[in-house]
A and B are shown apart, each in its own frame.
Chain A
């Protein structure tokens, strides 16, 4: 059984401590930003920003909502980027935690293919085409710690633990929220290990809140490999 993160957006206050904690733990440089007329900054995920609280003002049923979405890698249970890379030196899944981890070897991959394969638009590249994204703080997790973002969250909007425990918590919580927000839902809970709960239509939070078809679609080579399953990996090695 893998680990999972449960992100309850109904409790998020967008304090963005998670965004800073992520940079601190991974020792990522700050980006040079300007205020573009929004609190959201940086504008997007990047090679040095793995976690980003997206902020949207939406009027729903004549009522203003400020929607917060702490975007990060979903650590898909069946990760298209992993299949697309097909190179465990570059992208591997930690069997103990379920974390999908990118290494410096991602430089050798076709970055466009990997980026296009992601249904959540997560991986970002450096100038030399090395790819980076959230690693679920896999090093912390192996040392008995929670991911830095979860650890720092003051409101309990994020939780981390065994996948079945998190799924149970998410399912219980979504029922609670549905009492006041009938449209509340979990986002792709069966497919991912970072499960979001939203109370409004997912698209209002972020275009890629739910899985979207990758730009390039599933490439033929990947599809073939998927069909062959583990056998193909053996052959490749």
Chain B
């Protein structure tokens, strides 16, 4: 979230699309309710009428996988009706930037496309063709009047000209009236002082166009001036209490902690690595915060290798693994490699891929190729027991499986980082049961054992031998030591910015990290969370900030530097006055003399940098100011996003498996850069009469993830005892299915038995001239529990295709059949 949970209450219009917050983030509705009591409009856009829809002012049904068409229509509506925030768009976004002549878009393809000869990536773009025109100083050329025919604003207009109501309705299945109602209500948040917010989750991300779904909304939020303001932002509702934290600390393969880049094989030295990933801006008004990259990367290496990391050995850079250039190592790729017998050992740590992974049948088969698997979890699950799962002959599986029992999160001390980027410290509850251990203890012991193995021998032993591994007190994992390591220390007496810091003291904030090896920090983004003033995340003050918008700055701690709403410099106009006088985030209160600001002072939230506003009260420009989007190279919100794999503008493509034979926007049917896997376990079927219905997966309030913690819980099983498939009354009639009957749901990859829930909440869609039915299945179930094995995972159905930027699987739109047993 750019904003945070409490901040939802400040919104004037809440769009819940790509998520089902009432069911899957129930507590968020405390704040949705507060906003509605103050008159906010709630809009629910979903293939099916959900518990969220039941509370909404407007419900608009949409066919799964057509969000870009839906939102693209909104962009066109906003531009056609002149509802965008002119001042914000011209000053804070890259709408005025002039795009180079090489950029073009024709019939679904951007310039620079080249199809791949072999998969899984189907093709890639030469992104240099999307570059901005630069002036003689190397600064992007701009037309702040937004009239230049190659400025981003005009290109945006042209690009979405095709997204008229007629076509959008034909693609999405949403009626034109519903589209207009949603567009009108949401676009109203573009008025000065009004804010609209988006609450999205996996309904947007899990598509072959997942990243671009969110990009489309980001464009809308920028046009309406909703970024940086209270009650606005782009807000991802995370699916677990600590998903944000695990992402910040590099759960994903392509990043190191704090969103530093994983080193590529071509980054042969630390110097080259830093040079490659440090963006350079020639614009004096651009803060270009990532220019500090090397301070963060070197501090991270110091944290990994401690005193062994020296300037002479590039701080141990060459001890870290590098990934091959152009190759992906995502979840999909790992299990693909396992299926192809390229991986023979596997730690399944706190996860249940046999039920949670898309195309789970392939994952289960892949695990039989392993020599060994270590299952670290609370209980045995479908993953640890895959060798005795449905259709598996245990005698034929060679894999040796070890179970390491982990204790549950509430039994241990430590922190979680919630969707709103709040790091919250938790004290331990009841003591762990049996021989279960905190993950920290398991991983510490594992590290000690591996170090012992490498002590006197081993291939390339340096990374293991030199790894700093001292996060214990009296032999027990100490979460405070880990938290301090993450924040970071001065590793020698240092003078920075005129201040002297003693060796061993905690770094007060990332502004004090250095690239010369005098600081260590496990994650620059968390530098400021645990300082000499104490553990900031353990704070529990209930005092609100001066602006009284629910920031509660001394409750827990928030990255970066306790800034509760990021990009908040965009919440004020060029002179530093809030767009919204009532629910303001920050405000410039510097002194003024003869129409010029002469002192600097911001109040409210921690501002995105304390520089002067861009303009003086008399309207003159300042040369000591900075543009508000400080994490972007050029300091502007990116309506044009030339860094994405699949294009600088979002474009509607059909899901890999879809019910229509034509993309009404272009002749490019599916995302030309999607990742599609192609072993014999990766079947797909599009416009195939065997699988005529759109399928999607989702969660319910009553279960969590693959149900490992909820399926053994009788009170929750009482509420939702069976995997079910929801369908319309029309489809049930078509297939002669009665409500409550067990039926078979099948895709090109697998099938499972489900209980039919025949409901008015699903309606057939009118797509073009065809009637398209959609069904949905929750993915919480698995054969291991209930013990009779009747309930299975919906991921046996889901497809082997992913977004080109993230490789997230397309589990939200695929094709199935539903038949009587």
Contacts and interface: CB of A to CB of B under 8 A. Distances in A.
Nearest to A63: B59
B819 interface: no
A24 B724 CA distance: 26
A142 B760 CA distance: 44
B718 A30 contact: yes
Given A20-B715, A23-B715, A35 B755 contact: yes
Interface string A11-37: 101111101100110000111111111
B639 interface: no
Contacts of A23: 715
A79 to B, nearest CB: 29
A100 to B, nearest CB: 25
A126 to B, nearest CB: 18
Contact of B761 (A15, A31, A64): A64
Given A31-B718, A154-B26, A16 B702 contact: yes
B721 A66 contact: no
B114 interface: no
A16 to B, nearest CB: 6
Interface magnitude class on chain B = 35 or more
A96 B233 CA distance: 49
Interface in A52-98: 57, 59, 64-66, 68
A41 interface: yes
B718 A33 contact: yes
B33 A66 contact: no
Contact of B759 (A11, A17, A35, A57): A57
A37 B716 CA distance: 17
B313 interface: no
A156 B54 contact: no
B714 A29 contact: yes
Contact of B701 (A16, A24, A34, A41): A16
B33 A30 contact: no
Contact of A65 (B23, B54, B756, B759): B54
A201 interface: no
Contact of A13 (B29, B49, B715): B29
B757 interface: yes
Nearest to A10: B55
Given A15-B23, A66-B49, A41 B739 contact: no
A42 interface: yes
Contact of A155 (B30, B720, B760): B30
A66 B761 contact: yes
Contact of A35 (B27, B715, B740): B740
Interface string B717-755: 111111010000000000000111100000000000001
Contact of A37 (B702, B721, B739, B761): B739
Contact of B719 (A16, A32, A37): A16
A13 B760 contact: no
Contacts of A29: 714
Given A13-B29, A156-B33, A30 B54 contact: no
Given A35-B722, A37-B757, A15 B701 contact: yes
B721 A68 contact: no
Interface residues on A, range: 20 to 34
- Interface residues of chain B: helix, strand, loop or mixed (majority): mixed
A174 B738 CA distance: 39
B200 to A, nearest CB: 18
A70 to B, nearest CB: 13
B714 A154 contact: no
Interface in B31-64: 33, 49, 51-55, 59
B304 to A, nearest CB: 41
A111 B51 CA distance: 37
A33 B55 CA distance: 27
Nearest to A34: B721
Main secondary structure of the interface of A (DSSP, over half): loop
B301 interface: no
A64 B760 contact: yes
A42 B719 CA distance: 7
A68 B50 CA distance: 12
Contacts of A41: 718-721
B370 interface: no
A11 B42 CA distance: 13
B22 interface: yes
Contacts of A64: 49, 59, 760-761
B716 A20 contact: yes
Interface in A136-190: 154-156
A155 B33 contact: yes
A30 B718 CA distance: 6
A2 interface: no
A14 B59 CA distance: 18
B674 interface: no
Contacts of B26: 13, 15, 17, 154-155
A179 to B, nearest CB: 11
A13 B758 CA distance: 20
Contacts of B700: 39
Contacts of B741: 37
Interface in B170-228: none
Contacts of B740: 35-38
Contact of B54 (A20, A24, A66, A154): A66
B33 A33 contact: no
A57 B715 contact: no
Contacts of A33: 717-719, 721
Interface of A: 11, 13-17, 19-20, 23-24, 29-39, 41-42, 57, 59, 64-66, 68, 154-156
21 contacts: A11-B33, A14-B701, A15-B22, A15-B51, A17-B26, A31-B718, A33-B719, A37-B739, A37-B757, A38-B757, A39-B719, A41-B719, A41-B721, A42-B718, A57-B760, A57-B761, A66-B49, A66-B53, A154-B29, A155-B29, A156-B33
Given A35-B755, A37-B758, A154-B30, 14 more contacts: A13-B29, A15-B51, A19-B719, A20-B716, A34-B755, A35-B721, A36-B740, A37-B755, A37-B756, A37-B757, A64-B761, A66-B53, A155-B33, A156-B33
Interface of B: 22-23, 26-27, 29-30, 33, 49, 51-55, 59, 700-702, 714-722, 724, 738-741, 755-761
